[in-house]
Structure 1
């Protein structure tokens, strides 16, 4: 009996790792290659809400950085298209359509997949409700809390363009090449987010520069970056799961934007702000976690070219 041959995949595991590093390195590196996108040394603290020239929140720096990551994202998508065209069957004329499918350019089959992440934030949302800060409540202003947030360069970066380009590169492009190498989805969920988390390590240098390049600045920069790297890696695992389950970039993108808006939950400060509702807040926090775990699979149970055994992935993608 002839030996069973291993399934043939478009690229090797080593190639997928190198490509993932290329995608990550080109994205982060673009922020330093473009001269106007670099952070300048701090020139002293800003007065009030004034933005220091050359800082991360300087509009000219933001514009340069948005241009840089846009170019990097387009470059990475072009690399993915080249791989698809190179390894597609000779008779295939759908390389562009296949690339769009791998990038998750499709609407999710169910809106529930986009609502799955907000369930985890039931506790913070309940605290916002108690503070009358939700849309439609007395403490919410459309002008202040929406237009003045999303129409500024900082808001556009934080809540629109940075999430979009990061999801294209660190979710769609990175997971595409790992799937093309035959990695199963659990390995991708476990390891691919490390690329996303490590891509935030460069913020240590930016924080160190912004805080004055002192020993105290170095300590603060390291602590904040370790926390941010851990947080983004965990989020990356969740976003990878959503993308692999739905084959839709819209699902992890909506989760990314929502998490950026909500920020890190502040349970202790919420308990201090509403001492009479401590038990209720804790209960809703736990309820959110329970519902999040309960809906994680059923609300994302959709047809996906990624949620196949690796041997089926390339066949489904190029069909």
Structure 2
């Protein structure tokens, strides 16, 4: 018998021994690493004299932003190297499989576009308000938003550095660690690299399908747990708020932190779901930047703003005339009660002056009449507000219905 079949069988046997049959790491290890990465992300902000919060140095100061970006970048590099080592060595993955699990490769721009479309559907109301009602579409065409990002450190933090570093830590690093800790590893992972690596052992073992209830449960747990770290990482803003707002009450700071923890956790659930479904770090970074640009939507109130419209120039002229007469009468009364003579030449100048309300330096303030502000009106009609809230509801319904279809990808990391 030729030796080649024997060698082939030995190679197959060797590969089967290398196939992990249980978790690559324990769940406790995944949690400990997640906590360590959280600390590494936040601690440098307080260790650096320039980056740490203080009543004097505001978080929007360019020097503070630059210092924080430098510190967090170092933390991200350390966390990435640790995670890569764990995924490659303990997970027994080659380079291609490792970067696939981290969401770095392959890059499908169609997945990014579909995720951005999903976010746009959810924020249909705010986009309508900003783009149509307030006329922001003109700035969008000119690319004014991109110019703002490139010309300010605040823009770099909110739309570039923040989304990249946060999604790298809490999606690209933490989720793979928790997937490695799954009881169904590696068969709960779906990239073609993993499938090809273990395809030969499927027919000869009892390893369950990637869509088994236990595998889906573990994947969902990873999606639910990892955003909690993301929310906790924002709790330190409580201390920062107390320092920058010394007159605010502790209750106000606690409520603010609780609200921030709530919406960051909810947003983290969405981002974790998208990351697992698309296997794309770029997609969640783009969605994060888009959401930062849009901000929280309006849930109450009327669109536009209140302003005042004058009822006519005649009414204003009449008020100014009455004011001049009142000033003249007061000055005449003052002359009769004082012995010192006063120069009245400036009276004629005051009558021709636009600033008829402010007293001169050598005379006492006197009560004057003010011109009426006119009728109070809204800059936009009530119909725009009705349309906004209809779009807000329709966008939420459309988002829920399209959440699955628009995040479906051949690069998904696991079944959900």
TM-score, structure 2 length as denominator?
Answer: 0.64
Q: 1:14 aligns with which of 6, 28, 31?
A: 28
Partner of 1:181: 181
Q: What are the within-5 Å matches in structure 2 for residues 205-224 of structure 1?
A: 205-212=239-246, 214=247, 216-224=248-256
Contact 1:84 1:98 in 2 (8 A): no
**Is the contact made by 2:131 and 2:137 (CA closer than 8 Å) also made in structure 1?**
no
Residue pair 2:55, 2:243 contacting (<8 A) in 1 also? yes
The separation in 1 between residues aligned to 2:38 and 2:253, in whole angstroms, is: 21
Q: Indicate whether 1:24 and 2:58 are aligned.
A: no
2:409 alignment partner in structure 1 = 302
**Of 227, 233, 240, the match for 1:199:** 233
Residue 268 of structure 1 aligns to a residue whose secondary structure is: coil
Matched, 1:264 2:296: yes
Q: Which residue matches 1:98?
A: 97
Partner Cα separation in structure 2 for residue 148 and residue 301 of structure 1: 33
TM-fit CA distance, 1:255: 1.1
| Whole-Å separation in 1 of the counterparts to 2:251 and 2:60 | 22
- Please tell me the root mean square deviation across aligned C-alpha atoms, in Å: 2.2
The offset of 1:77, in angstroms, is 0.5
- Rounded Cα–Cα distance in structure 2 between residues aligned with 1:88 and 1:127: 48
Structure 2 counterpart of 1:65, from 59, 63, 68: 68
Pairing partner for 2:286 from 254, 259, 268 = 254
Number of the residue aligned with 2:123: 121
In 2: Cα distance, 1:79 partner to 1:207 partner: 32
Q: What does 1:220-239 align with in structure 2 at a 5 Å threshold?
A: 220-239=252-271
Give unpaired runs (5+ residues) of structure 2: 1-19, 184-217, 306-379
Paired residue secondary structure (1:36) = coil
Q: Distance in 1 between matches of 2:144 and 2:276?
A: 37
2:48 corresponds to which residue? 34
Q: Which residue of 1 aligns with 2:377?
A: none
The alignment's TM-score, normalised by the length of structure 1, stands at: 0.83
Deviation above 6 Å: which 4+ runs of structure 1?
none
Distance 1:308 1:10 in 2: 19
- Count of residue correspondences: 285
- Contact kept in structure 2, 1:150 and 1:159, CA below 8 Å: no
CA distance in 1, matches of 2:143, 2:405: 37
Secondary structure in structure 2 of the residue aligned to 1:35: coil
Structure exhibiting the larger radius of gyration computed from Cα positions: 2
Looking at structure 1, the residues matched to 402 and 52 of structure 2 have their Cα atoms a distance apart, in angstroms, of 42
Q: Distance in 2 between matches of 1:304 and 1:152?
A: 35
Aligned with residue 79 of structure 1, among 77, 82, 87: 82
Q: Aligned pair 1:279/2:353, yes or no?
A: no
User: Contact 2:182–2:219 (CA<8 Å) still a contact in 1?
Assistant: no
